[in-house]
Amino acid sequence: ETGVTQTPRHLVMGMTNKKSLKCEQHLGHNAMYWYKQSAKKPLELMFVYNFKEQTENNSVPSRFSPECPNSSHLFLHLHTLQPEDSALYLCASSPTGMVLAGPWTQYFGPGTRLTVL
């Protein structure tokens, strides 16, 4: 399988559940990203990992816990979520490092549609 894959594609969970979202990239990239896409709102960057190290955390509530065990895999662990956390969660990856010709392109997965009841 090529590109960026995300599992599951759909998830329904209660506010007391614990679940995890998985992202896998087969592109040899070293940077991985989690975004939240809510209706009528801009995509929100949540976390960035560069060479397995977290380099961005945009004031994300602690009920979202990312994990990057290697450059190909990224997880988002969820616990005690709120209904307002219902959204499409997108994972992306890109190469990294100095580039003179402009920024690296991010490649996106299809997303996990999360519904919190």
Complex with another protein: residue 18 or 26, whichever CB lies closer: 26
User: Could you tell me where the beta strands, DSSP code E, fall in the chain?
Assistant: 4-7, 10-13, 18-25, 31-37, 44-50, 53-57, 64-70, 73-79, 87-94, 107-108, 112-116
13 binds another protein (CB under 8 A): no
Contact pick of 76, 92, 114, 116 for another protein (by CB under 8 A): 92
Residue type, 99: V
28 binds another protein (CB under 8 A): no
Q: Applying CB under 8 A, which residues contact another protein?
A: 4, 31, 33, 40-43, 45, 48, 50, 55-56, 90, 92, 94, 96-98, 101-106, 108-111
